[in-house]
Amino acid sequence: MTTNDLEAQAPVGQNVAKLEANLSRVEELTQRLLKVMGQGRTVAPSLQGPSQELYVKAATAYMTEMIQNPAKLIEHQLEFWGKSVKHYVEAQHLLAQGKLEPPTDETPKDRRFAHELWDTNPYFNFIKQQYLLNAAAVQQAVEDIDTLDSEEKKRLRYFSQQMVDMISPTNFLPTNPEALALAAETEGESLVAGLENMIADLEANDGDLVVTLADKKAFTLGKNLATTPGAVVYRNHIFELIQYAPTTEKVYETPLIIFPPWINKFYILDLKPQNSLIKWAVDQGYTVFVVSWVNPDAGYRETSMTNYIEEGYLTALKEVREICGVKKVNAVGYCIAGTTLALTLALMKKRKDTSVNSATFFTTLTDFSDRGEVGVFLDNDFVDGIESQVEESGMLDSFFMSRTFSYLRSNDLIYGPAIKSYMLGKAPPAFDLLYWNGDGTNLPARMAVEYLRGLCQDDKFATEGFDVAGDTVRIKDVTVPLCAVACETDHIAAWKSSYTGITKMGSKDKTFILSESGHIAGIINPPSKKKYGHYTNPDLGLTPEDWQDSADKHEGSWWPRWDSWLSEKSGKKVTARTPGDEKHPVLAPAPGTYVLSK
């Protein structure tokens, strides 16, 4: 052996030593991991998944189907067996010939398997193909069940897909080629970094594993998020009222107040200047107010929908009128805040209060006869569990809400981020939208149950009437001029359900806009991006499907179209208003104090 040979081997020895050191570090971190994992909250089974009744019904229905129509099920089983055996034989045949290459791959494209080794390495390609064959077989088995009702079938389809997604080979280190290759390339450093990321997430959430989606150190509210200049001009125990500083010499006489959902924080409407709906509205010459809701704790146990309407909406509307010296305002409600705005308008109709000149609804459900994708979590098994949890704690913890919405897009919001953070050891991105998504809020116990039972489950507002402040209000009582914006791929507020609710309202002046994209991206879609288009159709007497089929497609954001509609409802131009007045002194600069509460 020459000196050159020894020198060539030295780096290898160093690499092995580095790998051993990293693996030793992994052992140390594992002990720390086991310690913190024991600190997590105990979550009731009713909040972990559907009741066993669903699976019992599914199994019974499958057995019934097998007895009544065995030929169909046997055909599908044989098809699955045939594909699996053929796949195995083809892979073995190539190996027998000494060819280290995968067999023909006719499985559908799936972005989870984007790494090249899924296509080029025979071992990983075999695993991928067989997983996708198995997944298709599970989906087919669910579709073969014809004796479940449509809602049960929808739930079975959803939860079986969750199981299939959970056991994807990408989610496990031994069957994730990208993670294994990176671990080898970095001598195990990626695994150490991944464990450190996991432990940091567990410690930050008291033992609950919540994947950090965005770099929390990259953003500070008021500095690089929620930066539109303004001030808190009113505060009570429910909300802070923020008035934004004008950027034009003249403004429309009728002010605009925006009610964001209290399920999340308001700054989704004011992320960065270039995608801030609030800043854009100010720049169009509107006097803009926004409600920043309190993040409730257990002390808000008895806070109800009536409290949100009386001490939230009606109070905010009154304060805006006083500050601006006007008799009428224009109002916007987003998601659940739009639902509650509709309840408020119906109550105001009963009270002969005409102080809202027009209303705009963003991704709002008022008719819950079809609850869309989120409906899988709105049956009694889950809602009973939520009711028990809030009775004990006094509030619906943001942990449960965040987890529910994340599971509606589990590959994008749970498994994908977990793979990058925990297996690849990558730091979370500096992404403003994901930062906001992780900044959740709690819901008061009483209000949460009223919303889930009375609106989501019983659909009272669109049927027999919903009780608010001693009155029974109905959807037909909403009679102000209105504009509604729904989103085509919205997984929280299905656009067809939103459309149905709008058609049932009593207003004679109605405009409906369908934006491309989803619950957030379809709304936060500034004109400068020139990204998502939108549909319009003045005929609201059509079914949702016929409305879309005959609608006009427009390129670009719906914001300018809404501006044209809203400006006609906003009166003449007057001298721009600075935040507050003598009776409403500046209490704090925007974005206020409530938004900072964790």
DSSP state of 429: P
**Please, which residues bridge with residue 360 across strands?**
332, 483
Instruction: Count CB-CB contacts under 10 A for residue 568.
Output: 10
Q: Which helix (H) or strand (E) holds 135?
A: helix 122-143
CB-CB contact of 164 with 110 (8 Å): no
Structure tokens at 19: 């790998």
Q: How many CB atoms lie within 10 A of CB 294?
A: 22
The enclosing H or E element of 588 equals strand 588-589
Please tell me which residue in 324, 335, 456, 483 is annotated as part of the active site.
335
CA dist 51 → 144, 178, 384, 389, 457 (Å): 22, 36, 11, 16, 17
Amino acid, single-letter form, for residue 287: T
CA distance linking residue 36 with residue 123, whole number of Å: 35
Collapsing DSSP to helix, strand or coil, 185 comes out as helix
**Measured torsion, CA atoms of residues 14, 19, 24, 29, in degrees rounded to the nearest 10:** 130
Element (H, E) at 61: helix 52-68
Q: Which residues contact 530 (CB under 8 A, 6 or more apart)?
A: 555, 556, 557
Which residues are CB-contacts of 200 (< 8 A; sequence separation ≥ 6)? 212
> For residue 517, what are its two tokens?
């994209």
- Active site includes 324? no
Which one, of 559, 555, 495, lies nearest residue 531 by Cα?
A: 555
Indicate the pairing of strand 239-244 with strand 256-259.
Answer: unpaired
Q: Do 347 and 309 form a contact (C-beta atoms < 8 A)?
A: yes
Distance between CA atoms of residues 461 and 474, nearest Å: 5
* Token pair listed for 597: 């509460």
Type of residue found at 419: I
Number of Cβ atoms within 10 Å of the Cβ of 88 = 14
* One-character DSSP codes across 73-133: HHHHHHHHHHHHHHHHHHHHHHHHTT--S-----SPP-GGG-STHHHH-HHHHHHHHHHHH
Query: Cis link prior to 591 (omega < 30° from 0)?
Result: yes
User: Where are the extended beta strands (E) located within 294-394?
Assistant: 329-334, 356-362
3-class secondary-structure state, position 57: helix
Q: Which residues have a catalytic role annotated?
A: 335
